[in-house]
Structure 1
Amino acid sequence: MITMFGTSVRATRLALVLLLPVTLAAQPMAPQPTRQSIAQIADSVAAIGDTARAVALLDSAVRRDKRDAASWHQLGLLLWNQARSARNPDIMKDQKKIRMLIAADTSLRLATKLAPDSGRFWLSLSRFNLQSGVSTMRFASTGQAREVMTAAERVNDKVMLAEAADMAGMGAWRRYDAQANRGLPTGFSKIVVPSGMERRLARDYVNTIANKIEPPTGDADHAEALDLFSRAVGADSSNLMYSRHLYMAYVERKRWTDVVTVASMRARQFPLDFQSQLALGLAYHRLANEKGATIAFDSAFALMDDNEANRLKNLVRIMRPRPRANLKGTEQVADSASWARLPSSQREGLEAMFWMMSDPLALTQENEFRLEFLARVVYADFRWTVDDLNLRGADTDRGDVYVRYGPPDFEMTIPGSTTDGRQRLDGEVTLFWDYTNSFTFFFDLKPGYATGRLALFDRDYVERLNDVAPVSFANVPVTRLLDTIPMRIARFRSGADSTDALIAALVPIDSLVRGNVLERVPVDIDLRVFDQFVRVRGMESDQLTFARDSSAGSLGRLWSRRLGPGINVVRVEALQGDSKRGARAMARLDPATNVGFGMSDVLLGNKPELRSGVVTPSRWRDIAITPSVGSYARGSSLGLLWEMYDLVPKDGQTKYRVAITVERADRDGVAGFTLRVLDNLGRAVGRAQQSRDRFTISFDRQGGALPVLVEYLSLDMTQAPSGGYRMRVEVTDLANQKKTARNTEFRIR
Structure 2
Amino acid sequence: MRRLLPITLWLLVPVVLAQGAEVSPFVAGMAALEADDYAEALAQLQEALADNPQHADAHYALALAYGAESPLRDERQVVRHLDRALRLDPENAQYLEARLEALRRTMPEEKAFSTTDTRRPALARRILEIDSTNALAHEELALSAFLEFDWRRQLAFRSGGWNPLATRGRSGAANRARARADAHLAAALQADPKRVSAHRLRVRLAVYARDEGQLDVAARAFFTAQPEDPAAWLYLGLTAYRRHDLSVAERHFTQALAAMPASERASFEQIALLLSEEEERAFSADSATVAARFWQVRDPRLLSSQNERRLEHYARLALADLLFADVRRGTRGWATTRGEVVVRYGLPDVDRRWVSSSVGAYQQWVYGGEEGFSLVFQDLFLNGDVEFPSSAGGEDEATRARSLFHRTPERFVYAPPGLTPFPHLVATFKGADGQTEVVIPMGVPVDGIESPENQHLLDLRTGAFLLDTDAEVVAEARRQVKRLGSGDAVRLGSTLLWTGGHGLSVDPGSYTLVVEFEQPRAGAFGVAREPLVVPDYHQPGLRLSSAVLAFLIEEENTAAGPGRVRRGPFVLHPSPQNQFATDAPIYLYVEAYGLTLREGRTQYEVEAILKPEDHAGALARVARRLFGRPPPSGVSVRYPLSGTTADEGQYAILDVVAETPGPYLLTLRIHDLHAGRTVETTRRLELTAPHTAPSPPLP
TM-score (norm 1): 0.55
| Structure 1 residue 122, shift from structure 2 partner | 1.9
Deviations along 1:415-459, whole A, 9 cap, x unmatched? x43xx4x3xx66747678899999897876869767877898797
Compared CA separation, residues 540 and 70, structure 1 to 2 (3 A): closer
Match status 1:630 vs 2:572: no
Q: Which residue of 2 aligns with 1:140?
A: 119
Alignment of 1:298-697 (within 5 A): 298-306=250-258, 342-347=289-294, 349-350=296-297, 353-356=299-302, 382-389=322-329, 390-392=331-333, 397=338, 416-417=354-355, 420=356, 422=357, 428=361, 470-471=412-413, 473=415, 476=417, 478-479=418-419, 482=420, 484-496=421-433, 500-506=437-443, 512=447, 522=456, 524=458, 526=460, 528-529=462-463, 532=473, 537-544=478-485, 559=500, 561-563=502-504, 569-571=514-516, 580=522, 586=528, 597=539, 602-605=546-549, 620-622=567-569, 627-628=574-575, 629-631=577-579, 639=588, 641-642=590-591, 681=640
Q: Which residue of 2 aligns with 1:125?
A: 102
| Structure 1 residue 489, shift from structure 2 partner | 2.5
Distance 1:467 1:663 in 2: 47
Structure 1 residue matching 2:484: 3-state secondary structure: strand
Alignment of 1:21-170 (within 5 A): 31-32=20-21, 34=23, 69=59, 73=63, 77=67, 106=80, 109-110=83-84, 112-113=86-87, 116=90, 117=92, 118=95, 121-130=98-107, 140-145=119-124, 153=131, 161-170=134-143
The answer to whether the 8 Å contact 1:178/1:413 transfers is: no
Distance 2:475 2:253 in 1: 20
Q: What's the C-alpha RMSD, in Å, of the aligned pairs?
A: 7.1
Compared CA separation, residues 668 and 259, structure 1 to 2 (3 A): same
Compared CA separation, residues 632 and 169, structure 1 to 2 (3 A): closer
| Structure 1 residue 238, shift from structure 2 partner | 2.6
Compared CA separation, residues 256 and 493, structure 1 to 2 (3 A): same
Compared CA separation, residues 139 and 305, structure 1 to 2 (3 A): farther
Compared CA separation, residues 601 and 214, structure 1 to 2 (3 A): farther
Compared CA separation, residues 44 and 464, structure 1 to 2 (3 A): closer
Q: Which residue of 1 aligns with 2:147?
A: 174
Structure ID, larger Rg: 1
The answer to whether the 8 Å contact 2:66/2:78 transfers is: yes
The answer to whether the 8 Å contact 1:73/1:107 transfers is: yes
Distance 1:184 1:630 in 2: 44
Deviations along 1:594-619, whole A, 9 cap, x unmatched? 79649785133379999789xxxxx9
| Structure 1 residue 490, shift from structure 2 partner | 1.9
Percent of paired sites with the same residue:
13
Tell me which amino acid in the other structure corresponds to 1:217.
A
Compared CA separation, residues 666 and 220, structure 1 to 2 (3 A): farther
The answer to whether the 8 Å contact 1:529/1:570 transfers is: yes
| Structure 1 residue 653, shift from structure 2 partner | 13
Compared CA separation, residues 30 and 140, structure 1 to 2 (3 A): closer
Distance 1:39 1:29 in 2: 16
Q: Which residue of 2 aligns with 1:8?
A: none
Match status 1:234 vs 2:190: yes
| Structure 1 residue 505, shift from structure 2 partner | 3.6
Compared CA separation, residues 263 and 342, structure 1 to 2 (3 A): same
Match status 1:723 vs 2:663: yes
Distance 2:616 2:310 in 1: 41
The answer to whether the 8 Å contact 2:325/2:332 transfers is: yes
Deviations along 1:568-616, whole A, 9 cap, x unmatched? 74435779x6xx4968574568795879649785133379999789xxx
Deviations along 1:477-510, whole A, 9 cap, x unmatched? x34xx4x43221223354459654433345667x
Compared CA separation, residues 452 and 341, structure 1 to 2 (3 A): farther
The answer to whether the 8 Å contact 1:72/1:107 transfers is: yes
| Structure 1 residue 226, shift from structure 2 partner | 2.7
Structure 1 residue matching 2:173: 3-state secondary structure: coil
Compared CA separation, residues 102 and 386, structure 1 to 2 (3 A): closer
Deviations along 1:545-582, whole A, 9 cap, x unmatched? 89x9989767787657553669774435779x6xx496
| Structure 1 residue 65, shift from structure 2 partner | 7.4
Tell me which amino acid in the other structure corresponds to 2:423.
P
Structure 1 residue matching 2:640: 3-state secondary structure: coil
Deviations along 1:675-732, whole A, 9 cap, x unmatched? 99987518xxxxxxxxxxxxxxxxxxx999x9x845768799999994376999999x
Distance 1:57 1:664 in 2: 99
| Structure 1 residue 391, shift from structure 2 partner | 4.2
| Structure 1 residue 243, shift from structure 2 partner | 1.3
Tell me which amino acid in the other structure corresponds to 1:571.
E
Compared CA separation, residues 177 and 534, structure 1 to 2 (3 A): farther
Distance 2:580 2:148 in 1: 63
Structure 2 residue matching 1:225: 3-state secondary structure: helix
Tell me which amino acid in the other structure corresponds to 2:103.
S
Structure 2 residue matching 1:571: 3-state secondary structure: strand
How many positions carry a matched residue from both structures? 601
Structure 1 residue matching 2:428: 3-state secondary structure: strand
The partner residue of 1:218 within 163, 174, 184 is 174
Distance 1:256 1:383 in 2: 16
Compared CA separation, residues 36 and 622, structure 1 to 2 (3 A): farther
Tell me which amino acid in the other structure corresponds to 1:502.
V
The answer to whether the 8 Å contact 1:267/1:276 transfers is: yes
Compared CA separation, residues 497 and 544, structure 1 to 2 (3 A): same
| Structure 1 residue 129, shift from structure 2 partner | 3.0
The answer to whether the 8 Å contact 2:661/2:686 transfers is: no
Tell me which amino acid in the other structure corresponds to 1:630.
N
Tell me which amino acid in the other structure corresponds to 1:222.
R
Q: Which residue of 1 aligns with 2:199?
A: 243
Distance 2:259 2:224 in 1: 25
Gaps of 5+ in 1: 1-27, 84-99, 187-202, 207-211, 325-331, 614-618, 683-701
Gaps of 5+ in 2: 1-16, 163-167, 390-395, 466-472, 558-565, 622-630, 689-699
Compared CA separation, residues 80 and 227, structure 1 to 2 (3 A): farther
The answer to whether the 8 Å contact 1:608/1:640 transfers is: no
Tell me which amino acid in the other structure corresponds to 1:621.
G
Distance 2:251 2:532 in 1: 35
Compared CA separation, residues 220 and 64, structure 1 to 2 (3 A): farther
The answer to whether the 8 Å contact 2:111/2:120 transfers is: no
Distance 2:18 2:31 in 1: 26
Bigger CA drift: 500-509 or 721-730? Answer: 721-730
